[in-house]
Structure 1
Amino acid sequence: MQETVVNKDNIPGALDWCVEQLRQQTVIAYPTEAVFGLGCDPDSETAVMQLLAFKQRPVEKGLILIAADYSQLKPYIADHALSVAQREKMFSSWPGPVTWVLPALPDTPRWLTGRFDTLAVRVSDHPLVQALCQKFGKPLVSTSANLSGQPPCRNVEEVLQQFGAHFPVLHGETGGRLNPSEIRDVISGDIIRQG
């Protein structure tokens, strides 16, 4: 009798399975530093619109991209517009829970920037976010995993309660932080949201 070999990497909740969902333009949930995030392929208008529909969030508000390293963000941001001091200040907080608002490149999709000519970006220090972005090969759209009016999800069970038992979620723990990431403007240095 032949044994069936189960590929543990390709079962729901595993990293490889979640990357496959992203490649199919599906929205997934995954743990970040403080809460679970909803994410998708930033280059797929279909996926981003699906994510905005889940969140009941208007496209004009713009979104955050989360990445494994700065090079993943360069196709979307006007890196050349930053001074050495601005870049150093940003890099001193990364990888970590600080989101920076940077000038966006002119061809960065409006479904990411919304009504702005800037884009909010973060290089995460969460090991599962790092692994997800590395394996996917680019950054992810990142917004807190919660339905409008509901508290952000802090574990897999809460994600499944809010979004349904079959919602694709990367199994793992959050980084244990209480507050979502701080958001700062790289040009002015202003704090937009306290961390």
Structure 2
Amino acid sequence: MRRKGSRAVKDSDPESVPLAVRSLGKGEFIVAPTDTIYGILADALNYNSVAGLKRLRRPSGRPFIVLIPDLSWVAKLGLEARKENLKLLSLPGITVVFRKKTGLYHWLGVDSLAVRYPRRGFIYRLLKRYGKPLVAPSANPEGLPPARDVGEAMGYFGDAVSLYVDGGRIEGTPSTIIKAEEKLEVIRRGSLSPDNLRRLLRLQSPFPD
């Protein structure tokens, strides 16, 4: 049962994106389907929102993945990215870790930042409308399984989240994470098989188990 103080809406509802934009703009948290699994989202450029989400979701303090509305945000976030490595962001379900070259948005990460560029679904529409990056950890407290539907997410977060966007049950896999510095390194395999990932990225290095 949804607790008093939060709201749920279907992702197909025409009001879902405007409601999400309104909540995010007020510094609130929302749960919504991303291009991989359900995420708990906040405005990445809002220090207080990100700090609050860390207290709620990730007390260990490890950095969050950041979803960007377009590739121009790689430079705007102060990231050091080779042109050929930017192409990795066009691959579905791929998160790329770039080294930071400035102290901009230090609350997102000190030395590096993991970013992804979703190109489909509700999260794509939301990012285009909101126009700013979002932090997007999976919708679960650290150490617990990711929520597969909004009911599970409500059980985790209750009215600490202002809006739950219902995209049905999602049995997805978290994104593949690739560190792109002097060489490419697979940090998390995600949904892509080792063979497919080697084929796409022409990697020769061994993969993590």
TM-score norm. by structure 2 comes to: 0.76
Letter of the 2:95 partner, please give it.
T
Q: 1:161 to 1:124 in 2, by over 3 A?
A: same
Distance across 2 between alignment mates of 1:30 and 1:130: 11
Identity of aligned residues (%): 26
Change (3 A) 1:84 1:72: closer
The alpha carbon displacement at 1:146 in A equals 0.3
Deviations along 1:56-100, whole A, 9 cap, x unmatched? 3333x222111232123431033xx43333233x1452xx20000
Cα pair distance change 1:44/1:84, threshold 3 Å: closer
Match of 2:104 among 108, 121, 124: 108
How many angstroms does 1:133 deviate by? 0.8
- Where does residue 153 of structure 2 map in the other structure? 159
Query: For 1:120 and 1:22, how far apart are their aligned partners in 2?
Result: 20
Distance 1:84 1:51 in 2: 32
The 5 Å alignment of 1:25-40 reads 25-40=27-42
Any unmatched runs of 5+ in structure 1? 1-10
AA aligned to 2:176 is E
State yes or no: 1:169 paired with 2:164. yes
Counting only pairs closer than 5 Å after superposition, residues 32-51 of structure 1 correspond to structure 2 as 32-51=34-53
What do the CA deviations read for 1:159-185 (whole angstroms, capped 9, x no partner)?
Answer: 1121116732222247x5632001001
**Structure 2 unaligned residues grouped into runs of 5+:** 1-6, 10-15, 191-209
Aligned to 1:142: 136
Contact in 2 for aligned 1:73/1:139 (Cα 8 Å): no
2:65 maps to which residue? Answer: 64
AA of the residue aligned to 2:43? D
Change (3 A) 1:177 1:123: farther
2:93 maps to 1:97:
yes
Q: CA deviation at 1:43?
A: 1.2
Tell me, in whole angstroms, the C-alpha distance in 2 between the residues paired with 1:105 and 1:140: 20
Contact 2:29–2:160 at 8 Å: present in 1 too?
no
- One-letter amino acid of the counterpart of residue 94, structure 2: V
Q: Deviations over 1:116-139 (max 9, x none)?
A: 411100001331111111111111
Matched, 1:83 2:85: no
| Aligned residues of 1:68 and 1:131 also touching (Cα < 8 A) | no
Looking at structure 2, the residues matched to 73 and 21 of structure 1 have their Cα atoms a distance apart, in angstroms, of 25
Structure-2 separation of matches of 1:143 and 1:166 = 15
* Farther off after superposition, 68-77 or 23-32: 68-77
- Paired positions, count: 176
